[in-house]
Structure 1
Amino acid sequence: MTVAPASPTLQPSAAPLSPAPGHTSPRLLADIGGTNARFALELGPGRIERIEVLACASHATLGEAMRAYLAMPAVAAAGAVRHAAIAIANPVMGDMVRMTNHHWEFSIEALRRECGFDTFVVVNDFEALAMALPWLGAADKVQVGGGAPVAGAPIGLLGAGTGLGVSGLVPAPDGKSWTALRSEGGHVTFAPANETEVAILQYAWREFEHVSAERFLSGAGVELIYRALAQLRGAAEPALEAPEISRRALAGACALCEEVVDVFCGMLGTVAGNLAVTLGAQGGVYIGGGIVPRLGERFAHSCFRRRFEQKGRFAGYLAAVPTYVITAEYPAFLGVSAILAARLGA
């Protein structure tokens, strides 16, 4: 998909709602992950407001969650929504969508009719996030190593959360627009880079015939690394969920948890470096998702960047490629807004 979006600003404002000039009705935007469904109204070009986050587990279907959002008094007061677009953590091929990391499934056309939309666009979440990258401001990202981006060069994107999303941007010949890649690169086969990772992979093979990068670079992956290292180190540790593992690591309260985070960052560095050389991403590689931004300075001082550049003869090439952590709270809304605008021609 090739679009050249405007630069929206996200405003969770409590101001009275009404569509701005340029939009005849409010537009529904959504970013649907395996854990949370994020909704917003776009009231005019650049006016993204009334942001709400609903737990996926609290709603039987996506349609139910969408209707719950639209029924909120402040949202309903904006008027009927005719056009909607959602980004979803899943491949989108044809009319039927079945989520990989959640039980929701739906027909795009049936859901459009159910909600009464004239237009209903569904795209992969990392395709939408990729479209937001050129419009992120300095306050929306933090650079972790590398030099300056090369103008007009491809850009890479990956992010660990419920799963591992991967995409990228390729510039159009006119230099004024971008094509977002519809990738499922999180499911490439995992490649270990040292003996510890070989042992972790061998542990994972006991559970999975195919061990993808996502098996480790995700919330469930953090827990898998923890179990594997506990066995490898002979540590009698309690079962922990990913948020608690991260919390203990950041607090310096558990040596094993700290090692888990270090291993995770190293694995992510290798996968990000692979993406950079695959795409020729001299415009930079961006890290999104829910896990890395929460690691803060721990990530910046981890082995991520060393492993990113650890590509033998291409170490010098990668040393110049900047890597960024996306810190904007709802960046996918920017991309899905641009995709919907391109579909509507405004």
Structure 2
Amino acid sequence: MSTTRDAADALKFPILIGDIGGTNARFALLLDAFAEPKTFPVVQTADFPTLDAAIQTAVLDKTSIQPKSAVLAVAGPVDGDEIDLTNSPWVVRPRQLIAELGLEDVIVLNDFEAQALAISSLPEKSREAIGGGVPHEGASRAVLGPGTGLGVAGLVRARRMWIPVAGEGGHIDLGPRTARDIAIWPHLKTIEGRVSAEQVLCGRGLVNLYDAICAVESKEPVFTTPAEITEAAINKRDAQASEAVELFAVYLGRVAGDIALVFMARGGVFIGGGIFQRIIPILKAATIREAFEDKAPHRALLAEIPLYVVTEPLAALAGLATFARTPRFFGLETTGRRWTAA
């Protein structure tokens, strides 16, 4: 049954933690409060009809450990007993997970709440600075990440707790700034006439941007997937692919600057997501940093805010594990998002 138990209530170990995106699902088991998460191979959501089947095959069939609790982060808004993923046909049904998998307690969060939890304690070895700026201790932070979609979340400090702030910030408007942008924009695929950040800054967004550049150049598109475009850009095999990746980074820097202003993120803005990590080697840090800071009349403010790339590939799982060990340290509202066995 769904309950109004406080997030500070301790979860029973072992705890299953899961980061479920539109394309990939990542799972781990946390045996106790001191153990490092025991991770399992990443699986693709398209390979399983349901989340329950994925957990059974990818985790439970591979271990004799029976988890008693689960903390899951999903790519979509958490609302009600049936939770639809934004970019996947999976529907998360916590009551069914309890009934079929023998769990006693299930908490479901937004996937970028998990990313926000991760940046509460992300070590220096798991991040790489882009440009200058000095983080303010205890100041708000923000995270965004292009993947199957564009996730955005904030992290604020209050009452000696870190409080993640989830939302759908990836769907803010993205507009043209330069003459090149103005040439490209009419060729971008829109949603009801609108270019949102996610229409450009995610996997399918990179394809959208590449196709638009080809249209401007009167070239027939050669590539159809984000992986093909990034590979061609990394190896300098295609001018349009190279420009698409360069502009992708610039637009992401612009949006990161916007998010920094929204959250007054003096603690830093963190960019996650596999797409950005793959293209880092060919990007010009100064160009991204300039796009991040170019926020008149607040350029001086942005120059003081650190911008980081998250280099830890399992950051969301690390964030979930941090929360699962010590939920009392986080101001995470779980009313309507926590279910317990009857």
- State the TM-score, normalizing by the size of structure 1: 0.87
Query: Residue 155 of structure 1 aligns with which residue?
Result: 141
Question: Post-superposition shift, 1:87?
Answer: 0.7
Cα distance in 2 for partners of 1:23, 1:180 equals 19
Instruction: Please point out which of 28, 32, 39 is paired with 1:40.
Output: 28
Cα pair 2:142 2:260 within 8 Å, conserved: yes
After the TM superposition, which of the residue ranges 322-331 and 232-241 deviates more from structure 2?
Answer: 232-241
Question: Post-superposition shift, 1:299?
Answer: 2.9
SS at match of 2:274: coil
Residues 173-227 of structure 1 deviation map (CA, whole Å, 9 limit, x = unaligned): 43xx211001110011222222322333322256643321101000000000010
The percentage of aligned residue pairs carrying the same residue is 35
Consecutive unaligned residues of structure 2, counting only runs of 5 or more, are 1-5, 331-342
Cα pair 2:250 2:287 within 8 Å, conserved: yes
The 1:225–1:94 alpha-carbon spacing in structure 2 relative to 1, beyond 3 Å, is: same
Structure having greater relative contact order (Cα 8 Å, sep ≥ 6):
2
Question: Post-superposition shift, 1:306?
Answer: 0.9
Query: Residue 301 of structure 1 aligns with which residue?
Result: 285
After the TM superposition, which of the residue ranges 297-306 and 56-65 deviates more from structure 2?
Answer: 297-306
Query: Residue 319 of structure 2 aligns with which residue?
Result: 335
Instruction: Please point out which of 66, 78, 89 is paired with 1:80.
Output: 66
Query: Residue 291 of structure 1 aligns with which residue?
Result: 275
Instruction: Please point out which of 60, 71, 90 is paired with 1:71.
Output: 60
SS at match of 2:220: coil
Query: Residue 139 of structure 1 aligns with which residue?
Result: 125
Cα distance in 2 for partners of 1:71, 1:297 equals 38
> Are 1:200 and 2:188 matched, yes or no?
no
Tell me the amino acid that sits aligned with residue 141 of structure 1: R
SS at match of 2:79: coil
Cα distance in 1 for partners of 2:12, 2:20 equals 25
Instruction: Please point out which of 57, 63, 87 is paired with 2:46.
Output: 57
Query: Residue 260 of structure 1 aligns with which residue?
Result: 244
Residues 268-313 of structure 1 deviation map (CA, whole Å, 9 limit, x = unaligned): 0110000011111111100001111111232343621111111122
The 1:23–1:170 alpha-carbon spacing in structure 2 relative to 1, beyond 3 Å, is: closer
**Equivalent residues in 2 for 1:184-333 (5 A)?**
184-204=168-188, 208-301=192-285, 303-333=287-317
Query: Residue 82 of structure 2 aligns with which residue?
Result: 96
Residues 305-327 of structure 1 deviation map (CA, whole Å, 9 limit, x = unaligned): 11111112211111111100000
RMSD over aligned CA atoms reads 2.3
After the TM superposition, which of the residue ranges 22-31 and 247-256 deviates more from structure 2?
Answer: 22-31
Cα pair 2:232 2:241 within 8 Å, conserved: yes
SS at match of 2:80: coil
Query: Residue 17 of structure 1 aligns with which residue?
Result: none
Instruction: Please point out which of 100, 104, 111 is paired with 2:97.
Output: 111
Cα pair 2:173 2:196 within 8 Å, conserved: yes
Cα distance in 2 for partners of 1:325, 1:3 equals 29
Cα distance in 2 for partners of 1:212, 1:206 equals 8
Cα pair 2:131 2:286 within 8 Å, conserved: no
The 1:263–1:220 alpha-carbon spacing in structure 2 relative to 1, beyond 3 Å, is: same
Tell me the amino acid that sits aligned with residue 59 of structure 1: F
The 1:240–1:121 alpha-carbon spacing in structure 2 relative to 1, beyond 3 Å, is: same
SS at match of 1:52: coil
Consecutive unaligned residues of structure 1, counting only runs of 5 or more, are 5-21
Question: Post-superposition shift, 1:72?
Answer: 2.9
SS at match of 1:192: coil
Tell me the amino acid that sits aligned with residue 339 of structure 1: F
Cα pair 2:229 2:241 within 8 Å, conserved: yes
After the TM superposition, which of the residue ranges 102-111 and 288-297 deviates more from structure 2?
Answer: 102-111
Tell me the amino acid that sits aligned with residue 211 of structure 2: R
Cα distance in 1 for partners of 2:281, 2:294 equals 21
Question: Post-superposition shift, 1:43?
Answer: 1.4
Question: Post-superposition shift, 1:341?
Answer: 3.9
- State the TM-score, normalizing by the size of structure 2: 0.88
Cα pair 1:164 1:218 within 8 Å, conserved: yes
SS at match of 1:123: strand
Tell me the amino acid that sits aligned with residue 47 of structure 2: S
Aligned length: 323
